[in-house]
Chain A
Amino acid sequence: QQQVKQSPQSLIVQKGGISIINCAYENTAFDYFPWYQQFPGKGPALLIAIRPDVSEKKEGRFTISFNKSAKQFSLHIMDSQPGDSATYFCAASQNQGGKLIFGQGTELSVKP
């Protein structure tokens, strides 16, 4: 019940295309859903996050869509660029200061 399932495992997108990564969770007590971007040899960096009281959040080219009833959330990267090539992790946590449960990660490659 603590798991967060992420798909796809890898994704290849052409420059300018839309990258879509999906996550699903079981624990309805989760109340914070961030996405992290990780470059090789670096720590995860917070990209964008959402709470379950909204269905969508947009920051620049990055959008989270959240479906509370389906217990799913997704990251959309519009106008994908080669510099977006990285591993993306969804995560979830509950309560103030709660631990993050990470998905398996998606390795995104944006081809020029």
Chain B
Amino acid sequence: EPEVTQTPSHQVTQMGQEVILRCVPISNHLYFYWYRQILGQKVEFLVSFYNNEISEKSEIFDDQFSVERPDGSNFTLKIRSTKLEDSAMYFCASGAGANYGYTFGSGTRLTVV
């Protein structure tokens, strides 16, 4: 079964450092997403990406965040200057369209110290 692959699985970074979280969505999917989940809490939407541009973003997705699909296969989330409160699981998801559901990756656990 096709999978969404995320790397790294765990990243520890110093506060103020930049991090890039990487995702390889399912190859024929058109819609790409980043979500985050703070430990023990619900999954929160960050940003959606379609047709090589951001289609929607949440209030969490401020100027510190950016997304890119540099080469047609990878989908990245960059956090420019990490804060302690950015510590969370970050999930990438992709979808062929709402009729077909969304597939989530296993996540990257980001720990900001």
Contact = CB atoms under 8 A, between A and B. Distances in A.
Interface of A: 31-32, 34, 36, 41-46, 49, 89, 91, 93, 95-105
The secondary-structure label for the interface of chain B is strand
19 contacts: A41-B106, A41-B107, A42-B107, A43-B91, A43-B104, A43-B105, A43-B106, A43-B107, A89-B42, A93-B98, A97-B30, A97-B31, A99-B33, A99-B56, A100-B102, A102-B43, A102-B45, A104-B42, A105-B42
A44 B91 contact: yes
Contacts of B58: 99
Interface residues of B, number: 28
A46 B102 contact: yes
B104 A97 contact: no
Nearest to A32: B98
B42 A97 contact: no
Contacts of A105: 41-42
A97 B98 contact: yes
Contacts of A34: 101-102
A91 B102 CA distance: 11
